[in-house]
A and B are shown apart, each in its own frame.
Chain A
Amino acid sequence: MINIKNFTYKDLLVNVNMTLNKEFNYIHGANGTGKSTLLDCISNLNQKYTGEISGNNSLVYLNQNLYFSYKLKFKDFVEFIFSLEGIKNYKTVYFKYAEKYGLLEEFSKNWNKRIGVLSGGERKKLYFSTICCLDRDWYLFDEPFSGVDTSGKEYMSNQFNNLVAMDKGVIITTHETEPLNNISFVKKHILEDSQH
């Protein structure tokens, strides 16, 4: 469980209290209410807040922008992320995962392609699937569905259900609520605009 107590970040997020259980947590809020900032803080990357966040030791956070060249290949991304994590035989591990979700054919086809020739949705699926291969207690995603087609969203929803079934916690922000219909149980947390 992640506990957020008396959390304040500048004048953006004021006195936020939230308990996130190991389930699918959807952080809802209008633009500018500080959803991404909250994820930055939960993931320990931003510590310039007051209050307390606990239970956030084992997590991985996929944000919207990554330091990666479009000239590099699909496999280079998988290799890099798995190297950071210390996973050897990256191709075997990744393909095993792809097979589990019926994506082996698609990922095999893209394996040697440059990231730049992939569609925005394919790119997102690559980042998402690679991150999901890592073993953590919590998985944080900032706008995972944006730019992803219907089948991609279905795959992501399935993945979320599986993570929760494996006793993992998921926290996402999104403005697209339709894919959430495929998720077994959604715990909604509302962020109010503290400036109004």
Chain B
Amino acid sequence: MRVVIAYYKLNLKMLRNEIFTLIWSLLLPVIFLILNFNKIHSFYDLRFFWAFIILSCFIYGIGVHAAKLRNEGLLKTYFSIKESRYEFFFSNILTQITLIFFNFLLFNIAASIIFQFNIFQLIYESTLLIVFSIPIAFLSFTLTLITKINATDINTIVSIFMLVSFIALFSTDYNHFNLIRIVGDILIDNTLKDYSLYLIVSICSIILGLFSLKRYSVISLESR
């Protein structure tokens, strides 16, 4: 736990100094919220915005981040002091959850003012979504298994994927496999089939994440 806290404190100090990172995952949802103002009728309509923020933070802050650090060999010294892949991973989850909470707070305050929704209800529902989305944090770590594409390219591909998914959500009806929709809909899933599917997907995500973590190396795959 001591090592998790050490990494967590370091991550928070770094985040505190990077305002752009802090607001980046919030920027696009806020723009889309303004553009789709007339499509928001109940607080459940905000679920896709929450899902986008969660996915952005988990994918960039955990999977892409770990791939970048590996490719630049930046963790070698720390891992030589203490082999700490699990602590490093869990501290990143904690960091991203903290960032998501921060973003949600700002987003929910804005939404409650604009749409007159109950702020406590928004906080409750969005927090539930964070908890249910934790398996995605594990799944995002599988990005480190990609060895043929460098971390910068992974970052670009993820950015395009996220943007296209988010735009598609508001402009087409073909979103059955849209990850943002799937995550957002966790909040309104209520059949036994939905629960079972969620459980199976979550267990698979966690297993895949742990497998990636076990294979994670701090040695760059691109340079010697």
Contacts and interface: CB of A to CB of B under 8 A. Distances in A.
A71 interface: yes
Contacts of A67: 69, 74-75, 78
A180 to B, nearest CB: 23
A40 B224 CA distance: 10
Interface in A10-55: 12, 34, 36-37, 40, 43-46, 48
B218 interface: yes
Interface in A80-129: 80-81, 83-86, 127
B212 interface: no
A84 B80 contact: no
A98 to B, nearest CB: 20
B102 interface: no
B80 A86 contact: no
B72 to A, nearest CB: 6
A63 B5 contact: no
Contacts of B77: 60-63, 66, 127, 131
Interface residues of A, number: 34
B14 A69 contact: yes
B38 interface: no
B73 A85 contact: no
Nearest to A59: B80
A65 interface: yes
Nearest to B218: A45
Nearest to B10: A80
Contacts of A59: 80
Interface string B75-95: 111111111100000000000
Contacts of B224: 12, 34, 36-37
A63 B77 CA distance: 6
A190 B82 CA distance: 29
B10 A76 contact: yes
Nearest to B72: A65
A65 B74 contact: yes
A134 interface: yes
B80 A43 contact: yes
B80 A45 contact: yes
B25 interface: no
Contacts of B10: 68, 72, 76, 80
Contact of A40 (B69, B82, B219): B219
B82 A84 contact: yes
B2 A86 contact: yes
- Complex A-B, nearest 5 residue pairs according to Cβ-Cβ distance, in ascending order: A83-B6, A67-B74, A71-B17, A61-B80, A63-B76
Interface of A: 12, 34, 36-37, 40, 43-46, 48, 59-63, 65-69, 71-72, 76, 79-81, 83-86, 127, 131, 134, 140
